[in-house]
Chain A
Amino acid sequence: MAIVIERHRHIIDFILSSMLRRKGKNGALLLVYTLIVFILASVLFFTHALKREAALVLKEAPEIIVQRTLTGRYQTIPIAYSDRIREINGVISVRPRLWGYQYDSVFLANYTLMVPADNPPEPGSIDVGSAVSRMRGAYTGDIIAFPGHDGLAHTFTVRKVIDGESQLLTSDLILISEKDYRDFSGIPADQATDLALRVRNPREYATIAEKIIRMYPDTRPIVRSEIQRTYDAVFGWRSGLVIVIFSAMALAFVIFAWDKATGLSAEERREIGILKAIGWETSDILLMKFWEGTAISLTAFLAGTILAYAHVFLTSSALFAPVLKGWSTLYPTFRLTPFLDFGQVATLFFLTVVPYTITTIVPSWRAATIDPDAVMR
């Protein structure tokens, strides 16, 4: 056993010396390879953590949301719809939800105004999300004004700032009383934004949704499982920017593979010829090339993965932040909980290390099986 280990160590000594002779080329290769793994792993870690977080926290979302659509767009829904929907077997409750958006042209920010189901603020006061508070410099007891649908400024006293730990849910929220929201937005008293249904049995969601559509063909029910699945599509591989990143990664790998698979440089072939001439077996050459591929790809994989973890979970995905913020001036500052899946890291390993190592060995096998005399000429 000790002899085998020593043999491998001598080969590693040899390939490291050989690689250090071409340190510019190999250093650049290692750097680019690490960068590719880093970007790929960052996207994987970020999307996986986000999906898991969405699945966990949105499991308490309303069982069914009923929207009304007109000309393909959602509109306010008559509250009277809830009377017949409530009579459907399995429906525990129907609550009209009041919520909408407000664009602040001074701060260039979009707020989400919402009338909460429980513990709404008193008329004249509001609760604000931490990003709204941060941007407007508004804290408990401060008075804050927004222009309403009538063009007049409506003033509210900040009752409280919503806890910052829930920024991923509430950072742009403004919670308001029903009376204030109707005055502010102009939604008539007999209308709501949509209806939130509580349903006892999850197996009845689809049946109830079908019944609602039959009852009111202009409605669109959205069941909770659909809400949760929505976040599987975030950063999905078909999303515009993500496909660009993945294409760049794939292209970089193709270039690597092509460079390796099309053969070795004259210098490398001569090196193999000399090694064979002084007594190295073909298996020794293949072992050497295996270690050479492994040295680059394993180091790049480990360093890239560790850096990606630090990037996503310790620096709050600092490099993704400009893309996430987009044009918005109001954004949550959140740190994702590190959901790390062994299968995910294993997939990353097989996608990055294995192809590179194989493409290193194949041309070396071709070079190692030909006559050393012919190689050296």
Chain B
Amino acid sequence: MGLRRSTIYLGTTSGLALTLAGIFLHSSSELRDARPLFARKSALVRQLELTDLCLFTEASYTRNLSMTDPSTPFQDAPMSLEHFPSGGLVGPPPHLVKK
């Protein structure tokens, strides 16, 4: 006799739920292992006096996001449009838009 459909469904759902729980365990174990790495990265930031993550290298205003100014993305001309894809992923730094 084959398995009932509800058994297959509940078994699959339980398996997925357990995998989701496993993800949380994996995440916390990775975070624990990453502590020394974060300490090394922080030390490097202090040593090199870095201010930004190197997420994008295509434009200066997205390479060093916190150091940019409001006119940099439009530096070619007053009517020039944003033309780097990374500009579409980042908002302006809060200190530029709040003041």
Contact = CB atoms under 8 A, between A and B. Distances in A.
Interface of A: 9-10, 12-13, 16-17, 20, 50, 53-54, 56-62, 65, 67, 69, 72-74, 95, 97, 101, 109-110, 112, 114, 116-119, 129, 131, 165-173, 175, 194, 196, 220, 222-223, 226-227, 229-236, 238-242, 295, 298-299, 302-303, 305-306, 309, 313, 323-324, 326-328, 330-332, 337-340, 342, 345
Contacts of A95: 49
Contacts of B92: 233
16 contacts: A13-B5, A16-B9, A58-B51, A60-B46, A110-B63, A169-B54, A172-B54, A226-B66, A233-B90, A235-B89, A238-B91, A313-B30, A326-B58, A326-B86, A337-B37, A340-B27
Interface in B1-51: 4-7, 9-10, 12-13, 16-17, 19-20, 23-24, 26-28, 30-31, 34, 37-38, 40-51
Contacts, number: 230
Interface string B73-99: 001000000001111111111110000
A69 B71 CA distance: 11
Interface residues of B, number: 65
B57 A65 contact: no
Given A9-B6, A175-B48, A302-B20, A323 B57 contact: no
B53 A168 contact: yes
Contacts of A345: 20
Nearest to A342: B24
B5 A16 contact: yes
B63 A241 contact: no
Contacts of A240: 87-89
Contact of A236 (B31, B37, B64, B91): B91
B58 A328 contact: yes
Contacts of B46: 60
B41 A61 contact: no
B20 A173 contact: no
B49 A324 contact: no
B9 A303 contact: no
